[in-house]
Amino acid sequence: MEESDAKPRRQRSRSQRWLVLVLLAPGVIWLAVFFVLPLLQMLSISVSTGSLETGFTGPPEYWDLSNYADLFSRYSSNFRNSIVLGGFATVFVLLIGYPIAYAIATRGGRYKNLLLMLVVAPFFTSYLVRIVSWQTLLGPEGPLLSLLRNVGIASDGFTMLGTPAAVVAGLTYQLIPFAVLPLYSAIERLDPRLVEAAEDLYAGPWRFGYAAGALAGGLLFGGAIALLSRSTPPPTTILVAALAGAALGSLLVGRCMSESFVRVLLPLSAPGIFAATLLTGIPALGDYVNASLLGSPDTQMVGNAIASLFLVQNDYVSAAALSFIGMVVLLVAVAWYTRAVGAKRVLEDAV
């Protein structure tokens, strides 16, 4: 009895292994050929010499690391812009996305799906058409500036388009759903009774709320004014902005955040925050379309340099090197962040 049972089962497992390989093969081969191979090819071109016309000579016969030598100094402002503008956009997306996701998850009731749909709806049109709308909105004759001029807040020479702030605004807008969706699914999973339990155990208002809010708000507002203006503003302006931010931050955080939120719900939603940071940070740091359409020559990011080297100057060797460096910097940042959060499994959970 046992013998006759064992044989078909072994056959079944062998045929199953074949089946799994057949299922895996097409997708794996496709990704290997059209994803891994191109990245390796780019790495190889980055240490080659030559051009589109003459062809490239590269490894193993020829190695030239000099393409990498002056990339950081040549493109220092691009790297700075990517980090500052992409970083601010990521922070703003999280600050705006978290309350949205929190409210929908905890108070959405039977309108949860409808509200999520409304958050995502603006992204159902073409990416570039959305940026065109932003250009119209922020433009010198757009509705927003006309309104501000009529009310008398903005002077005639005041512009919004072409500033670093416009690039950050555009990026923030484009990336909000990438933060709201993972945050929502992380918060929605939490048991609301956790809050009741925390309150039963004497969780009250958050004691450090006012101080923490003031610190965060001050840094954010001061930093934003200092780094996102067209030209560096005088120190008094930065100070005023920082003080205003501190007041606003302390009021918001001190009033709205209870101990049960800070010590229970916030840490438990960390997987969502982690996923949201990656999903917004990676595109934000790699972006170049917002920077070129909403910004000015002073707001060019690493992506702009890569795109122009590849598509305008046809300097494939430098372009490949810059692209490779950019990617390595980002992967190191992601790896560091993953370690810092201690969230190896989180990524798997999130996807």
Partner 1 sequence: MAFTLFAIGVLMVPIAVMVAFSFNDPRGRFNYSWNEFSLDAWLDPFGVPELATALGNTLLVAGLAALIATALGTPLALALTRSRLRGKGAANVLVLIPLATPEINFGAALLAFYVATVTVQPWETLIPKGVLFPLGLNTVLIGHVTFCVSFVVITVRARLLGFPSSLEEAALDLGATRWVAFWKVVFPLIRPGILAGGLLAFALSLDDFVVTNFTAGTEAMFPTWLFSLMRRELPPQIDVVGVMIFAISVSAAIAATVMASRNVQVAATAEGEIDRA
**Which residue(s) pair with 205 in the sheet?**
258
Distance, in Å, from the CA atom of 153 to the CA atom of 156, rounded to the nearest integer, reads 10
Minimum separation from the CB atom of position 214 to partner 1 (A): 20
Nearer to partner 1, 15 or 76 (CB): 15
Among 229, 271, 277, 230, CA closest to 89: 277
Q: Residue 58, interface with partner 1 (CB under 8 A)?
A: yes
Q: Binders of partner 1 among 315-334, rule CB under 8 A?
A: 316, 319-320, 323-324, 326-327, 330-331, 334
Q: Which token pair is 272?
A: 């969502």
What's the DSSP call for residue 204?
Answer: -
Q: Residue 176, interface with partner 1 (CB under 8 A)?
A: yes
Among 78, 304, 282, 288, CA closest to 170: 288
Q: Binders of partner 1 among 90-149, rule CB under 8 A?
A: 96, 99-100, 103-104, 107, 113, 115, 117-130, 132-137, 139, 141-143
Helix/strand/coil for 52: coil
Distance, in Å, from the CA atom of 46 to the CA atom of 324, rounded to the nearest integer, reads 8
Distance, in Å, from the CA atom of 114 to the CA atom of 96, rounded to the nearest integer, reads 19
Dump the DSSP string for 271-289.
HHHHHHHHHHHHHHHH--H
Q: Binders of partner 1 among 224-283, rule CB under 8 A?
A: 278, 282-283
Minimum separation from the CB atom of position 133 to partner 1 (A): 4
Q: Residue 41, interface with partner 1 (CB under 8 A)?
A: yes
Nearer to partner 1, 242 or 304 (CB): 304
Among 131, 51, 38, 70, CA closest to 322: 70
Minimum separation from the CB atom of position 112 to partner 1 (A): 11
19, 147, 197, 332: which one binds partner 1 (CB under 8 A): 19
43 residue type, one letter: L
38, 192, 204, 297: which one binds partner 1 (CB under 8 A): 38
Q: Residue 39, interface with partner 1 (CB under 8 A)?
A: yes
Minimum separation from the CB atom of position 251 to partner 1 (A): 14
Q: What is the total count of residues that contact partner 1 (CB under 8 A)?
A: 89
Q: Residue 50, interface with partner 1 (CB under 8 A)?
A: yes
In angstroms, what CA-CA distances link 39 with 10, 100, 188, 232?
Answer: 40, 38, 38, 39
84, 224, 306, 346: which one binds partner 1 (CB under 8 A): 306
Nearer to partner 1, 158 or 232 (CB): 158
